[in-house]
Amino acid sequence: MKIIEGFEALKSILSRQGPSSDFEIDEREKAVREIITEISRRGDAALFEYTQRFDGVTLDALEVSKKQVIVASNSVDQELLSALDLAAERIYTYHIAQRDSLLSEGVRDGLGWLIRPLKRIGIITPGFTSPLPSSLLMAAVPAKVAGVKEIILATPPQKNGSVHPAILAAAKIAGVDRIFSVGGAQAVAALAYGTESILSVDKIFGPGNIYVTLAKKLLYGVVGIDGLFGPSEVVIIADDKANPAYCASDLLAQAEHTSGSAIMLTTSWKTAHKVRNEVEVQLKGLKNREEAEKNLEDWGMIGLVESINEAVELANLYAPEHLLMLVENAESYLDKITAAGCVITGEKGTVALCDYIAGPAHILPTGGTARFGSPLNVTDFVKITSLIDTDKIDIKEIGRAAQIIAETEGLDAHAKAIGKRLEDPS
């Protein structure tokens, strides 16, 4: 891994200057537009064709039956089932506390709000090459806590034509209502428009490849979208007391993600070099060594700064998905952190714990969007409606001010509508 010294040099690298090329109109977007058009026109027939073309699987039916879910769940290793149960329990607990803290209706002086859960949502879960049951739990459990009435899962079949048992087991644990063997951009289009088999949803959740992301981008407005997610990112801030083996292991964990940024900022020259050496040692034991090594070469670095405050400033500038604070008295720096999807503290802190079982959802803002975006949470699954009770508002006190504003904006009918109320002696 390269080591870069100096605040100004690092600032230039981490500022994310210049336009992103991720969403340029290229052949990929044209292909996604075609898929969306075909799904909207031909529904299930197009889904069967795309599943055969992209996944190499010929399906007899799109929907996974309840019996198939039960059989698949029973085939899953008991240790994995127990782990998924524990993860779901912790995710439930975290989001119930979040719901009780954030979602309460209120009315004061005639003004308030109504909170209503979304009726039906769709979750996209990758699973063609490797199953991602954790991603399913991270979206489905908060949806249940928020009170969503119906959860539909779209996940691609494996080469043998069936959905991976681990995903079906997670779906059963999370209380998913219906499951369809559909993936990719075609799954996003099907959930947005609906087909003969798949009901259209209010909002779509879950990460995916560039084709899924482009489909979400193009269909925003037709359907609600949780966000546009890019490659995963971690910034580690480490002092001279940080464990080099821990730092290296998290950098390597990040390097397992294609194009995932793995960055460490430290005040210690010794720590920087120890971590770089430890990365080389740990690389030798990885199954996917070549990919991790390439990703670290392309997207990894260690930065040397003069103080933890400088490191925090650079982290805020970069606005990473994950910020791992391996420093003494990490809590004392929390007030200074303004842009991160998830902050992990503690001597044995690791992003991997957040990815699977800590409790908060691991669907987080990427690409610098932590400057203004938030992790997936219970508020993503509800609608808030403003409530105005005019019987409890003194219209005479505020009506003339409203008239003046309406007249200034040239909206005569607005001003007259208010005037009617002001003229009424009752």
- The single residue of 278, 310, 313, 322 carrying the catalytic annotation is 322
The helix/strand/coil state of 329 is: coil
**Element (DSSP H or E) covering residue 101:** helix 78-102
Measuring CA to CA, how many Å separate 71 from each of 65, 141, 144, 180? 10, 22, 23, 16
CA dihedral 287, 291, 296, 297 (to 10 degrees): 130
Contact of 184 with 208, CB cutoff 8 Å: yes
Give the whole-angstrom CA distance, residue 273 versus residue 3: 8
Residue 414: active-site member: no
How far from each other are the two terminal CA atoms of the chain, in whole angstroms? 77
Residue 321: active-site member: yes
Contact of 376 with 123, CB cutoff 8 Å: no
From the list 380, 370, 326, 371, the residue with the least C-alpha distance to 351 is 326
Output 375-378 pairs: Cβ under 8 A, ≥24 positions apart. Answer: 375/341, 375/342, 376/138, 376/139, 376/142, 376/205, 376/226, 376/227, 377/95, 377/98, 377/102, 377/142, 378/95, 378/98, 378/99, 378/102, 378/103, 378/142, 378/145, 378/146
- The single residue of 273, 321, 414, 423 carrying the catalytic annotation is 321
The set of catalytic residues is: 321-322
